[in-house]
Amino acid sequence: MFNDTATPLSLLRTRRSGKPRDLVAPGPSPDQLREMVAIAARTPDHGKLFPWRFVIVPDDQRAKLAAKLGAILMAEKPDGGPRDVEAAEQFATQAPALVVVLSAPVRGHKVPVWEQELSAGAAAMNLLHAAHAMGFAGGWLTGWAAYSEAVRDLFGKPGERIAGFVFIGTPARELEERPRPELSEIAHYWDSQG
């Protein structure tokens, strides 16, 4: 089942990532997006630094973002062709909603940057959980755009990094269960004897 909300644990057990290209309308309303972001911000944050930010890209701005991504791609990869530009533009316009999650560490603070970056990842995960709890699916993508300083500058400033592009919508098809590791492969009990 895609979205079992019977209990908090069943909700966590049924969360799946949706491929952004397969997420369709209806998407979350502006109020729902704001609520998702508020929930996402309830993440572990050593030092209460809020080392993350969220940028909601409104529907009426998605085509402009697509054009900017295409232009940045061509500037950064001059050997790219029309298909590359088209892929960059499709990236920006897939799924009904887009939230860009930025890692915005407070440098020079006693809390290590690594901990602050982990907090940004936790915030992105909370955003996916909030979307799922509201009956939507989300997909967290990075790709070349997440590592481009020019793309980062569309949303943030130097010193910040794009943690991910979180696309949210309704699955057009049943979400697939991905292979999961056996618990014995990823979880062990510590033993002082070795």
Domains of the chain are: 18-58+95-173 (3.40.109.10)
* 62 closest CA partner among 105, 37, 91: 91
- Has residue 127 got a pLDDT over 60? yes
* Claim: this prediction has a pTM higher than 0.85: yes
User: Which strand (E) or helix (H) includes residue 55?
Assistant: strand 52-57
- Has residue 1 got a pLDDT over 70? no
pLDDT of residue 97: 98
Question: Are the C-beta atoms of 148 and 94 separated by less than 8 Å?
Answer: no
The mean per-residue pLDDT over the stretch 49-68 comes to 97
* 28 closest CA partner among 176, 169, 173: 169
pLDDT of residue 6: 79
Question: Are the C-beta atoms of 168 and 131 separated by less than 8 Å?
Answer: yes
- Has residue 2 got a pLDDT over 90? no
Task: Name the token pair of 191.
Answer: 């033993």
CB atoms within 10 A of CB 193: 3
pLDDT of residue 3: 66
With 0-12 / 13-18 / 19 or more C-beta atoms within 10 angstroms meaning exposed / middle / buried, residue 6 is exposed
Q: What is the CA radius of gyration of the chain?
A: 18
End-to-end CA distance of the chain: 41
* 169 closest CA partner among 88, 84, 62: 62
**pLDDT band with cut points at 50, 70 and 90 for residue 178:** confident
The mean per-residue pLDDT over the stretch 36-64 comes to 97
